[in-house]
């Protein structure tokens, strides 16, 4: 899922300061699961903005709405009336959702309420970890399902850097060395011979390094 965290209330107040009638628009998918932008968080942010407005004399009028997905026009239409009525929208979707709303309503100020952080999973209660950088050319099958692009701090594709200590990453001692994980996983699934294969330099054209990406599925076009 896409993982994000909320901007601070003081940041949001500064962003919204020029406006009066503000819609806080939540998204019911990834950001709900990662507890940053769903209905509950919309309610918390709205309450905090109302309090800040009263304390700072800002005269905000805050309304709240959460739709299932802000990155999908079918669901965006459900918010159209509320968006039209507002002076500005504070979106608590990921960056894609915020931009989808801004594109659909070109004359409406739309602001991001969250910092979109990474593609990851819930590792334990209250802890999310990055698992994929959406590089566009997945190599997981070569590394026992452990992503060296995302989980090795140096993005090494041909073995460890040699700096790990007690299975901890040299760069991030709070995280396990990805190559320790890759070795264990390949051992456990009987594929250690993969470590003998040399991986050529990765072609980053399919990643964001090659510029903004578009995925076209001709079989789905009309
Ligand atoms: S290799 Fe690329 S697509 Fe596959 S998990 Fe890693 S970053 Fe994501
Ligand atoms: S210690 Fe392991 S995870 Fe960290 S940079 Fe070196 S090889 Fe990568």
CB 164 within 8 A of CB 184: no
Walk me through the domains of the chain, giving residue ranges and CATH numbers: 2-118 (3.40.50.2300), 133-209 (no CATH)
| Shortest-distance ligand to the CA of residue 151 | 2
pTM for this structure? 0.92
A 10 A CB-CB count for 57 gives: 6
A 10 A CB-CB count for 91 gives: 28
Structure-token pair, residue 65: 């709405």
Q: Is 161 in the pocket of ligand 2 (CB under 6 A)?
A: yes
Q: Is 79 in the pocket of ligand 2 (CB under 6 A)?
A: no
Q: Is 147 in the pocket of ligand 1 (CB under 6 A)?
A: yes
Q: What residues pair up with 127 in beta bridges, in sequence order?
A: 124
Ligand 1, atom nearest to 147 Cα:
6
Question: Residue 222: what pLDDT?
Answer: 76
- Summarised one tens digit per residue, pLDDT across range 61-120 is 999 999 999 999 999 999 999 999 999 999 999 999 999 999 999 999 999 999 999 999
Q: Is 24 in the pocket of ligand 1 (CB under 6 A)?
A: no
Q: Quick one: DSSP state of residue 166? A: T
Does 48 score more than 80 pLDDT? yes
Ligand 1, atom nearest to 207 Cα:
2
C-alpha pair distances (Å), 155 with each of 9, 84, 109, 123, 158: 35, 45, 38, 21, 9
């Amino acid at each position: 899922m896409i993982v994000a965290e909320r901007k601070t209330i003081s940041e949001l107040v500064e962003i919204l300061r020029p406006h009066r009638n503000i819609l806080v628009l939540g998204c019911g998918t990834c950001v709900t699961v990662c507890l940053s932008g769903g209905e509950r968080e919309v309610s918390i942010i709205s309450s905090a903005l109302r309090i800040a407005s009263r304390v700072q004399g800002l005269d905000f009028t805050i309304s709240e709405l959460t739709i299932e997905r802000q990155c999908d026009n079918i669901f965006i239409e459900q918010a159209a009336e509320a968006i039209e009525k507002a002076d500005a929208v504070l979106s608590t979707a990921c960056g894609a959702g915020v931009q989808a709303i801004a594109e659909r309503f070109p004359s409406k100020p739309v602001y991001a309420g969250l910092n979109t952080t990474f593609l990851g999973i819930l590792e334990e209660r209250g802890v999310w970890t990055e698992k994929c950088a959406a590089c566009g050319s997945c190599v997981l099958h070569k590394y026992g399902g452990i992503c060296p692009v995302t989980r090795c701090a140096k993005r090494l594709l041909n073995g460890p850097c040699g700096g790990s200590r007690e299975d901890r990453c040299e760069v991030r001692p709070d995280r396990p060395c990805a190559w320790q994980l890759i070795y264990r996983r390949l051992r456990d699934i009987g594929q250690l011979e993969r470590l003998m294969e040399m991986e050529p330099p990765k072609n980053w054209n399919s990643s964001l390094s090659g510029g903004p990406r578009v995925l076209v599925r001709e079989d789905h076009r009309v």
